[in-house]
């Protein structure tokens, strides 16, 4: 099975590490690196672009979302997803968001998990194998029809 993973993080090293960890586990996994909030919102707002970028073939996309980013931060992104997909249950189910942040702030955590499409709150740093396990668990739980 394959599902695209979108890493939204302004830290280049963090994106690189996630990408390496994920592809090590599944070479065919498509990892899309997004360096800021603006770009991910543009993708979310344009279904064609989103589909083209993720090439998910019906699989939900897993978004690993940082919180502290310059410009639009993680919460701005969550609000945008909430708004765009508010009346589109099907499309919303195509996005599984996991916060991947260095913020261990309890308020941040509570706020993030109040969005129904936010499935987890992972505090960096995290071992690559653990990250893989978490991603797979959430993605598979969301996949409409399990493949493989």
Site of interaction with another protein (CB under 8 A) = 10-14, 16-17, 20-21, 66, 68-70, 73, 102, 104-105, 107, 123-128
The three-class DSSP label of residue 40 is helix
**Between residues 92 and 124, which has the closer beta carbon with respect to another protein?**
124
- The conformation of residue 144, written as its DSSP 8-state character, comes to S
**Between residues 96 and 134, which has the closer beta carbon with respect to another protein?**
134
Query: Minimum CB separation from another protein for residue 137, in Å?
Result: 21
Alpha-carbon separation of residue 101 from 10, 14, 112, 140 (angstroms): 11, 10, 11, 22
Query: Minimum CB separation from another protein for residue 130, in Å?
Result: 11
Query: Minimum CB separation from another protein for residue 136, in Å?
Result: 19
**Between residues 1 and 123, which has the closer beta carbon with respect to another protein?**
123
**Between residues 28 and 107, which has the closer beta carbon with respect to another protein?**
107
Separation between Cα atoms, residue 86 and residue 92, nearest integer Å:
8
- Give the DSSP per-residue string, 66-125: -S--SSS-HHHHHHHHHHHTTT-HHHHTTEEEEEEES---HHHHHHHHTSTTEEEEEESP
Query: Minimum CB separation from another protein for residue 16, in Å?
Result: 7
Query: Minimum CB separation from another protein for residue 86, in Å?
Result: 23
- Taking Cα atoms as reference points, which of 57, 44, 118, 113 lies closest to residue 85? 44
**Between residues 15 and 30, which has the closer beta carbon with respect to another protein?**
15
Contact 14, 66 (CB under 8 A): yes
């Amino acid at each position: 099975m394959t599902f695209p993973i979108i890493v939204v993080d302004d830290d280049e090293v963090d994106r690189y590490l996630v990408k390496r960890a994920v592809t090590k586990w599944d070479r065919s996994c498509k990892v899309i690196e997004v360096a800021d909030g603006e770009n991910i919102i543009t993708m979310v707002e344009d279904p064609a672009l989103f589909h083209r970028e993720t090439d998910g073939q019906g699989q939900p996309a897993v978004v690993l979302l940082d919180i502290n980013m310059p410009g639009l931060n993680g919460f701005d992104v969550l609000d945008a997803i909430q708004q765009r997909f508010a009346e589109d249950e099907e499309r919303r189910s195509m996005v599984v968001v996991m916060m991947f942040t260095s913020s261990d702030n309890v308020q941040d955590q509570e706020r993030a998990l109040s969005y129904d499409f936010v499935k987890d709150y992972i505090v960096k740093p995290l071992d690559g194998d653990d990250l893989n396990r978490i991603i797979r668990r959430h993605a598979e739980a969301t996949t409409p029809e399990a493949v493989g």
